[in-house]
Chains A and B, each alone.
Chain A
Amino acid sequence: MIRRSAMAFSLMLLAGGTALAATAPAARQSILDHYAAEARKTDAGFKGFSAAAGQAFFLAHPGTGRPETPSCSTCHTNSPRNQGRTRAGKTLAPMAVSLSPSRFTDLAKVRKWFARNCHTVYGRVCTPVEKGNFITFMAHQ
């Protein structure tokens, strides 16, 4: 009896693990869908996100934010495939989805960090198109 239920439990874990792996791309897509819907609210002719524009946005030094954080690449480095490093020296997982599959799968986390980092680097909120472009670029890395 005890053995049976232990087995059932490990099977459940297995199923849970598989489900998680399968849902990461779906979760990322639903975040992209969310930003696409936002984009269409202000631009009825919105055609879709651009990885190239996302890369330019990531590498830009807009000069409108805080002097300590001139660019997204200040912490995330020039390559999304590199580990990042904060100003206090903490290591960050790469932004590239191929290396960090759980990136951009939790809308609350994504919103929190766009809000903070757009504020410090760009000195303003980012548009839904900028956010979608950024995620699209990282999803292709």
Chain B
Amino acid sequence: MKPLRLLALGVMCAALPAACGLAEGETPRPVPVRATTGGPAGEADFARECSACHMAYPAALLPARSWRALTSHLSTHFGEDASLDAPTTQRITGYLVSHAADSSDGSPGVMRGLPAGQTPERITDMPFWRRIHDDLLEPGVGTGPGLRSAANCMHCHNGSGGDD
């Protein structure tokens, strides 16, 4: 457990493209996965509303079609009700889509291996994520009562070892 908590080296998610676009066999350099903290219109709504139950996941880790699908049924969101009024949902969708993995802000590394016909609603179902994490999440390696879920990114990506 201990070494996994020491990931807060290097730069922010902006370094992601390089980290995720590495050649076969190269070890990716850990970057802290940080929650989005605010900004203009849709981004502020996203940072406020989508951080209540988990970190505000970076928009650049799912393609636009995934964000559209996910925000089209927020009342049935992974077994919970995350519904919002229509204007707020629309602003958040706009922000996520325009910063998605396949937008000009995204990186080909995140999209690699994802078949065109697939629309995962989990980052943890993206092939890029599985390539990096599958070994870590084998029983007894990265899991445990403190982790609770693979979607608890900050359990491993936060240098302080906290969860949010």
Please list the residues of chain A having a beta carbon within 8 angstroms of any beta carbon in chain B: 66-69, 85-91, 115-117, 119-120
Query: In the assembly, what is the distance between CA of A118 and CA of B164, in Å?
Result: 24
Of the four ranges (under 10, 10 to 19, 20 to 34, 35 or more), the interface on chain B belongs to 20 to 34
Tell me the chain B residues, 149-164 only, with Cβ under 8 Å from chain A. Answer: 149, 151-152, 154-155, 162-164
Contacts of B53 in A (CB 8 A): 86-88, 90
Contacts of A120 in B (CB 8 A): 79-81
Q: B153 to chain A: closest CB distance in Å? A: 9
Query: In the assembly, what is the distance between CA of A87 and CA of B163, in Å?
Result: 12
Q: Are A87 and B148 in contact (CB under 8 A)?
A: yes
Give the secondary structure class of A's interface: loop
Q: B145 to chain A: closest CB distance in Å? A: 10
Query: In the assembly, what is the distance between CA of A85 and CA of B146, in Å?
Result: 11
Please list the residues of chain B having a beta carbon within 8 angstroms of any beta carbon in chain A: 52-55, 75, 79-83, 146-149, 151-152, 154-155, 162-164
Contact of A90 among B55, B75, B79, B81 (CB under 8 A): B55
Query: In the assembly, what is the distance between CA of A85 and CA of B52, in Å?
Result: 11
Query: In the assembly, what is the distance between CA of A114 and CA of B86, in Å?
Result: 18
Contacts of B52 in A (CB 8 A): 90
Q: Are B149 and A89 in contact (CB under 8 A)?
A: yes
Contacts of A119 in B (CB 8 A): 75, 81
